[in-house]
């Protein structure tokens, strides 16, 4: 029996390189992987942002991902990190899929959790007037405090150097859903497949309260087939060292449990 393909969705300011090492483990376990680059995320930050990025809505990312998913030979496992986990849920509500893996999930409009940590992480982004209509890029200060906290400095600095521009409109849709038509609201009644949710207890940009709310909503929608874990001491960035190996092993074990 063929194992389902895995569609991997990277996060805000990131690229498919996020999953380079995790993909090796997934493919060794017998799953074909597909990791599309979100619109305009293939442009290095040394270049000006792509003109089309300025007011790109979250719907545009989901439309792109739906087109990519429909190219796959079978309904995929949809795996996302951070914003990619929110996109994974929005996509899963549209298409047939085999399951969800949500790593450090960003909040849907209906899975919010109050915390000042994301604001401290993003303060140098959101204190600029009109940021919601402009391309955004997380600065090194905020990234070191809220995304790469606990990550070795050389690893963190290399990852920060690889960040790319993203849509301020998408960030606003996620951060301020009442002001943007609740466009990130997930129809959890449509998410009836098994799900795995992983989050670090020291995640500062998508704190564990978001993952807990997401898991509760998924449980309500699919009758309780949600596997939820908080990783002690882990930050938002899960893709380094022993932590990355632990996450990959947990995902592979969960995938094996589906068959």
* In a domain? residue 155: yes
* In a domain? residue 186: yes
Count, in order, helices (H) and strands (E) of the chain: 9, 8
* In a domain? residue 49: yes
pLDDT tens digits for 107-139?
Answer: 999 999 989 999 999 999 999 999 999 999 999
Contact 168, 132 (CB under 8 A): yes
pLDDT at 222: 67
pLDDT at 220: 84
Domain that holds residue 42: 6-257
pLDDT surpassing 80 at residue 1: no
pLDDT tens digits for 159-204?
Answer: 999 999 999 999 999 999 999 999 999 999 999 999 999 999 999 9
pLDDT tens digits for 52-61?
Answer: 998 899 999 9
pLDDT tens digits for 72-98?
Answer: 999 999 999 999 999 999 999 999 999
% of residues, the chain, pLDDT over 70: 98
Virtual torsion, Cα 184, 148, 81, 128, nearest 10 deg: 30
- Residue 134 is part of a domain; what is its CATH number? 3.40.50.1820
* In a domain? residue 1: no
* In a domain? residue 20: yes
Model-level pTM? 0.97
CA distance linking residue 243 with residue 246, whole number of Å: 5
- Count up the domains in the chain and report the number: 1
């Amino acid at each position: 029996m063929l194992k389902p393909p895995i569609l991997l969705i990277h996060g805000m300011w990131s690229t498919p390189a996020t999953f380079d090492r995790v993909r090796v483990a997934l493919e060794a376990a017998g799953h074909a992987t597909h990791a599309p680059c979100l619109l305009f995320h293939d442009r290095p930050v040394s270049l000006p942002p792509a003109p089309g990025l300025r007011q790109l809505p979250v719907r545009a990312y989901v439309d792109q991902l739906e087109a990519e998913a429909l190219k796959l030979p079978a309904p995929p496992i949809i795996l996302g990190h951070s914003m990619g986990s929110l996109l994974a849920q929005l996509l899963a509500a549209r298409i047939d899929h085999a399951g969800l893996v949500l790593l450090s999930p960003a909040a849907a409009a209906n899975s919010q959790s109050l915390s000042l940590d994301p604001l401290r992480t993003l303060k140098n982004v959101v204190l600029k007037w009109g940021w919601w209509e402009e391309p955004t890029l997380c600065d090194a200060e905020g990234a070191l405090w809220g995304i790469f906290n606990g990550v070795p400095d050389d690893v963190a600095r290399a990852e920060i150097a690889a960040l790319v521009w993203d849509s301020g409109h998408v960030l606003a849709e996620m951060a301020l859903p009442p002001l943007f038509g609740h466009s990130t609201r997930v129809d959890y009644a449509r998410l009836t497949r098994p799900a795995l949710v992983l989050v670090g207890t020291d995640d500062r940009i998508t704190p564990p309260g978001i993952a807990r709310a997401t898991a509760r909503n998924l449980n309500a929608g699919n009758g309780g087939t949600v596997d939820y874990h908080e990783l002690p001491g882990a930050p938002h960035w899960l893709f380094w060292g022993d932590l990355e190996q632990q996450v990959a092993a947990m995902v592979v074990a969960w995938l094996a449990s589906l068959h």
